[in-house]
Homo-oligomer: A and B are copies of this chain.
Amino acid sequence: MNQTFVTEIARKSEDLSRWYTDVILKAELADYWLIHGFQVIRPYGYALWENVQSRLDARFKATGHRNAYFPLLLPESLLAKEAEHVAGFAPEVAWVTAAGSEELSERLAIRPTSEAIFGTMYSKWIQSWRDLPMLLNQWCSVVRWEKATRFFLRTTEFLWQEGHTAHRTAEDAQAETMRMLDVYQDFVEKDMAIPVIAGQKSEAEKFAGAEATYTIEALMPDGQALQSATSHFLGQNFARAFDITFQDQDGLRKHVWTTSWGLSTRTLGAVILTHGDDSGLILPPKIAPIQAIIIPIPGKSADDQAIRDAVEQARQSLAERFRVEVDLSEKTPGWKYSEWELRGVPLRIEIGPRDVRANQAVLVRRDTREKQPVPLPGLATAVGETLDRVQDNLFARARAFLESRISRADTLADFQRALQEQPGFILAHWCGSPECEATIKAQTGATIRCIPFREPEETGTCIVDGRPSRKRALFARAY
């Protein structure tokens, strides 16, 4: 029965793409919607997002940010105020042209991002240096009309948070940009257990309207990179476009410096792809909707009551500290194991007749399937420690994978060979010209993911045109 259940999903090692779709549908994380590219996030998937929200939001609050809610729609003329910005986003905008039975006099865009909206209000709210910094964030949905879509990774509507801040000086804005990139890296690595490489985007890959875009890049099992969050230093571009000025301490009227930064439901796709296995999802304990599932193992009917009591006692001892549930359905234990494995619950707690007699429970880790008998009185401590170990192990093995998939290439031929032999990140010298970047993309399908902070400066030559380069860029094919 276990077998039957599991064979309903493709093997991760054989067909990652089908496995990904299968596991999302079977684990009831999401479902298709009638309109191409849209998805419905089902309760189990949404609970995962709620955990992401609460843990990330706590980090935003701790760094002085406050939440607000800005409108869903903006006039076309407003989006057009920042030239690069509108050029980047207009092709993806959903346009509202009528309300009720009336045509609107101006088309309204459903926000694809909200720089123009925040900018408009900041120009009204910010008058003096005393109003700075203004540090706001919003959790909302945005719409970008995409052609090729996939659950979570690329959907026409997605959920995200977008921070928008305004500062007195370029230095303050730059520091904020880096601070939030650090917050993202901390969250994605510690809570999602996904290792990332942080760095700066190339001109070609930066956000439309930004002076500089910083990113954290993860690596999926197929060797493709996934941009997990970005933080933008917007300079004074939006301040000028939206006339956001303040009177400084010296009495002069100046433009503010702004930033924006975002993380979306796309990262849930990274969680699914990074940690899962042939049996289904494996969710990092810190964000798992259910951290431990208790499964009673029936014995002789004489044992029923004792098992029920032990299960309830175990649940109670855990409920305060952990997200724990009991599966009392009438399915067989084997069937239940498969179901909760598919759903990626990081820890299973079995309690059967022998366990009751030994006053113990058996913990089974989802990541390693390791079994450990634990005395019931010390259950909560053992569960806490085991969940920590699962969390650490998920991160450690993802990091080992990522590090094993970084190649260095010093010629374009090496680059192509490396990408074929072992798809992943490739560190290569690049002169900085958009033409060479485009050549590499055209010939290999790989793009510059970032200029990584962690790479040391070194003397080298561009793999395309041989011009000098002082640092390797990080390339990969990407989601």
Contacts and interface: CB of A to CB of B under 8 A. Distances in A.
Contacts of A97: 95-98
This chain: how many copies in the complex?
Answer: 2
Contacts of A101: 91
Q: Which of A73, A78, A92, A159 has the most CB of B within 10 A?
A: A73
Given A40-B121, A121-B40, A136-B43, A35 B100 contact: no
A385 B464 CA distance: 73
B35 A124 contact: no
Contacts of A47: 66-67
Contacts of A110: 72, 96, 110
Contacts of A70: 33, 40-41
Interface in A76-90: 78, 90
A432 interface: no
Contact of A75 (B34, B73, B98): B34
Interface residues of A, number: 52
A451 to B, nearest CB: 31
Given A94-B96, A100-B93, A101-B91, A71 B121 contact: no
A92 B141 CA distance: 21
A62 interface: no
A92 B96 contact: no
A91 B110 CA distance: 20
A253 B332 CA distance: 27
Given A38-B71, A40-B68, 20 more contacts: A34-B74, A34-B75, A40-B69, A40-B70, A40-B71, A40-B121, A41-B68, A43-B67, A43-B136, A45-B68, A47-B67, A69-B141, A69-B159, A71-B157, A72-B143, A91-B101, A94-B98, A95-B98, A97-B98, A99-B145
